[in-house]
Amino acid sequence: MDFPKFLLGDNTDFPTAIFVIHTDFPRFIINLEDDEVEWLEDFDQHDQKELEIEAEGLIQQANEFYDREISRYED
């Protein structure tokens, strides 16, 4: 099954949280309420360096995805 690169998620147990799930490597979930990131991958030292380089851009993309999706609801 193919998934989009980003998915929105919510849960009634966390009524104020807005989750964006990144489905490509490195997979993660970011809570936009507090910008907490949960990585769904195990990283070795080599991966850690690559992750540090890519993380900022991926988190920015997650925020842009959320803004785009919300703007589509508002139109």
State pTM to two decimals. Answer: 0.86
Confidence of residue 75 (pLDDT cuts 50, 70, 90): low
Q: pLDDT tens across 14-57, in order?
A: 999 999 999 998 899 999 999 999 999 888 887 787 787 888 89
Is residue 52 one of the residues assigned to a domain? Answer: yes
Residue 1 domain flag:
no
**Does residue 54 lie in a domain region?**
yes
Backbone angles phi, psi at 40, to 5 degrees: -105, 20
Specify if 59 maps to a domain.
yes
Q: Is residue 45 part of a domain?
A: yes
Number of separate domains in the chain: 1
| Range(s) of the domain holding residue 10 | 6-74
Neighbours of 6 (CB within 10 A): 19
In a domain, 10, yes or no: yes
In the numeric block, which tokens belong to residue 6? 């980003």
12-15 CB contacts, 8 Å cutoff, 24+ apart: none
Is 55 part of any domain? yes
Residue 66 forms part of a structural domain: yes
Structure confidence at residue 41 (pLDDT) = 87
Q: Which long-range contacts (CB under 8 A, 24 or more apart) does 8-12 make?
A: 8/66, 8/69
Which pLDDT does position 15 carry in this prediction?
Answer: 95
